[in-house]
Amino acid sequence: MRKPVILITGAGGEIGHGLIERLWEESRPAIITIDLNPLDASLHDRVSRELTGSILDTNLLERILSEYEVDMVFHLAALLSTRGEFTPVTAHQVNVEGTLNVLDFAQKQGESHGRAVVFLYPSSIAAYGLPDLETRGRAGKVREHEWNVPTTMYGCNKLYCEHLGRYFNHHYKQLAAEKLSGKVDFRAIRFPGLISAETVPSGGTSDYAPEMIHAAARGEPYACFVRPDTRIPFMAMPDAVDALLALARAERTRLRYNVYNIGAFNPSAEEIRQMVLEGFPEADIRFEPDLKRQAIVDSWPEDVDDSAARTDWGLSPRYGFREAFHDYLFPHIAARYGH
């Protein structure tokens, strides 16, 4: 008998960290993880098995297939938008070929145990691409089907993998004699920038917000790489984890789409600086825009329309802008850095 488990790829990253903690607190399910690096010591006893390796290693995925029955996959492994621009081919390999491997793995799982594998995929606001600031201002809250012309390798990868997931879900091997689609129940969230009190992201372009608050908490000066008036959607990490779990647990019949926007608040970089100063009045934050990274952020929408997520699966973030900082970030970050 193979053992039933949840599979989390890229488990050592920001979302994985919060997700593993939350699953452990809730119900302690059997979890196996894949990450290029060993997990944080704090997560060791939260998982049944930790595999150090790559999603590009199909032998590793075959091994999991032979030993475990996976009903749910959180495919979090990815190379983010800034890093992807330095190594676009590697980004494509990890983000697209890696995702194809994991989708194929989920398909085989579904075929072997006969149930649909719920496949959670974190997509991103990077899947959007707005051509200029004037259009961006006019666009306001963008809907899922609008402005799907990303400018980064990461954004192109995310958008394409949304389509791959939809293909596996609804059209996989459509010319075969028997119906093979539906074994992968693909559900994607286009995440905004995420801010966690526990971890600092690396390789993203929305990183200026989390970097600003973590630097302030460490008492270090911070040079913000975007203009003060830069505005994109953000969300606190606990709400991002809640959203993933809410979508994972939603009745399939209630889901009209495979891909959903979510958002919580969309402050400007200057408004974030002001908010950080409320918690850390000594913070030394100045603006030194990097024009190339700025152009990436400027191609992302200043807000998203997440009404479909609210209607279909009850998206309802706990933290607005003020609450995210005062009720979540300040207390947790202060504890983390020993204030």
Active site amino acids: 154
Stretch that binds ligand AKB, among 89-97, 102-110, 112-120, 199-207 (CB under 6 A): 199-207
Report helix, strand or coil for 187: strand
Q: Which is nearer to ligand AKB, 31 or 80 (CB)?
A: 80
x-or-dash string of contact with ligand AKB, 202-231, rule CB under 6 A: --xxx-------------------------
Is residue 119 close enough to count as binding ligand AKB by CB under 6 A? no
Report DSSP state, residue 19.
H
CB of 205 to ligand AKB, least distance (A): 4
Residue 125 binding ligand AKB, by CB under 6 A: yes
222 burial level (CB within 10 Å; 0-12, 13-18, 19+): buried
Site size toward ligand AKB (CB under 6 A) is 11
Closer CB to ligand AKB, residue 80 or residue 117?
Answer: 80
Among positions 8, 126, 247, 248, the unique one binding ligand AKB when judged by CB under 6 A: 126
Q: How many helical (H) and strand (E) elements, i.e. helices and strands, does the chain have? A: 14, 13
- Across 169-323, the runs of DSSP E, i.e. the strands, are 184-191, 193-195, 222-224, 234-236, 259-261, 285-287, 303-304
Q: Which stretch binds ligand AKB (CB under 6 A): 119-127, 217-225, 252-260, 269-277?
A: 119-127
Residues 6+ apart with CB under 8 A from 50: 11, 32, 33, 35, 38, 39, 44
CA distance 226 to 247: 32
x/- site string to ligand AKB, residues 131 to 170, per CB under 6 A? -----------------------x----------------
Which stretch, 1-9, 123-131, 215-223, 306-314, contacts ligand AKB (CB under 6 A)? 123-131
Residue 35 · residue 78 · CB < 8 Å: no
Using the rule CB under 6 A, give the single segment among 29-37, 198-206, 270-278, 324-332 that binds ligand AKB.
Answer: 198-206
Distance CA 83, CA 70 (A): 31
**3 state DSSP class of 240:** helix
> In the complex, which residues of this chain contact ligand AKB (CB under 6 A)?
80-81, 124-126, 154, 191, 193, 204-206
